[in-house]
Amino acid sequence: MIKTEETLDPKNNEPKYNIIKANAIVLPPNEFVLATTKEWVEIPPNLCARVEGRSSIGRIGITVHITAGFIDAGFKGNITLEIKNLSPNSIILYEDMRVAQLVFEELNGTPKRLYGEAGNKYQNQTGVVGSLIYWDEDNKVVK
């Protein structure tokens, strides 16, 4: 999923994306793409996780998450990756290419509410899910 060339206004519009299904994609320099893991994860109440890019991918200039690396206790779904090519070269990304890893952390207790118990936007996501920032209460439409 690559964003379209338009000004994004998260208070007034749902971001629009071009959906690409391919065995490989050429990511030009400084371009951004959303991707998904094939794996479905279910984080138990006593753990949280972080998605981290592999060193080998980082060393060619690819980041796999920009800000959303934390996965809450109770999350269920595919993980959406925010991939950016920071290098001056186009890079081919292949289906089934190992680009990320999960790091699990044990919690001292269980949260009062697990992810998904408060109407969280991304619970049970399948495939690539773009930004749902326009769902936020503090981000309601302005006119």
Would you give the distance in Å from CA 59 to the centre of its chain? 20
Please indicate, yes or no, if residue 5 is contained in any of the structural domains: no
List, in order, residues 6 or more apart from 112 with CB less than 8 Å away: none
Catalytic residue among 14, 31, 52, 82: 82
Mean pLDDT of 114-138: 76
Domain of 47 in residue numbering reads as: 18-126
pLDDT value of residue 1: 46
Q: What is the mean pLDDT of residues 49-56?
A: 92
52 assigned to active site? no
Per-residue pLDDT tens over the stretch 54-106 = 989 999 999 998 887 899 999 999 999 999 999 999 999 999 999 999 999 99
Gap between the Cα atoms of 17 and 51, Å rounded: 23
Question: Would residue 35 count as lying in a domain?
Answer: yes
At residue 82, φ and ψ (nearest 5 deg) are -105, 95
Q: 77 in a domain, yes or no?
A: yes
Domain assignment present for 57: yes
Helix ranges (DSSP H) in the chain: 55-58
- Asked if the structure places residue 7 within a domain, the reply is no
pLDDT (0 to 100) of residue 50: 95
Number of domains in the chain: 1
Instruction: Answer yes or no: is 8 within a domain.
Output: no
